Amino acid sequence: MDEKAMDPSTGDNGMEILEASSGLEGAGESTGSRLDAHLQEASRLKSDGNVFYRQRNIRAAIGCYHRALLQLRCLDSEANAPMKVFGAPVLKLNPEQEELLWGMQIDCYNNLAACLLQKESVDHSRVLEYCQKVLQRKPADVKALYRAGVASLELGDNHAAQQYLLQASRGKPNGKNTNFLVLQFLILAV
């Protein structure tokens, strides 16, 4: 597999965005501090996961990405919407913070998919699930499209695999593995 397409540590810029992010609009300092604390902890965990991935410590990387997602989940208004019924306070994010939250979630799910593909026993359905979460927010994400194509191929869904890989090849036409897998489909289709 293409090492660059598989490496979750490429293209992550959560910490730079986080440093530029401001507190909550119109909220008290304690709420803003809590929000910033969750975002900073999630960013740290994601960065730690990237380090573990580069060291080929896949299990530790997976743990970091999962914990980062847990930090982000408490900030996600969509995930916490049912809690409003019980009167639980839900943090209100400004658009910049919402974008940061989604970006970090996308990175973590993409990184988890990459990690799972590196394991000895690959759960392709889980890889596909994580890639679909990425593609819901970022439909043209080449890494997620490629990984979803690989997972679909391994799950025996050749049509879906072909669609994902064709989309990935359009986004990154020089990707060796993407082009190789698309070529395999063309040969099989004949």
> Worst-scoring range by mean pLDDT, 126-130, 146-150, 168-172?
168-172
The contacts of residue 2 (CB under 8 Å, 6+ apart) are 146, 175, 176, 177, 178
Same domain, 169 and 107: no
User: What CATH number is attached to the domain comprising 148?
Assistant: 1.25.40.10
Max avg pLDDT among 20-24, 128-132, 153-157, 177-181: 128-132
Do 77 and 21 have their domain in common? Answer: yes
Q: What is the CA radius of gyration of the chain?
A: 18
- Provide the domain count of the chain: 2
Going by pLDDT thresholds of 50, 70 and 90, the confidence category of residue 51 is very high
* Same domain (yes/no): 13, 66: yes
| Shared-domain flag, residues 156 and 138 | yes
Instruction: For residues 109 and 126, state if they share a domain.
Output: no
* Res. 139 pLDDT band, cuts 50 70 90: very high
pLDDT at residue 173, rounded to an integer: 52
SS3 36: helix
Which pLDDT belongs to residue 149? 92
Which pLDDT score is estimated for 188? 56
What is the value of pTM for the model shown? 0.75
| Position 28 pLDDT exceeds 70 | no
State how far the Cα of 98 lies from the Cα of 22, in Å rounded to an integer. 12
Question: If pLDDT is split at 50, 70 and 90, which confidence band does 13 have?
Answer: very low
Conformation bin of residue 121: beta by default, left when phi > 0, alpha when psi is -120 to 50: beta
Residue numbers of the domain that contains 152: 122-190
Query: Which residue would you say has higher pLDDT here, 178 or 113?
Result: 113
In what helix (H) or strand (E) does residue 133 lie, and over which residues does it extend? helix 124-137
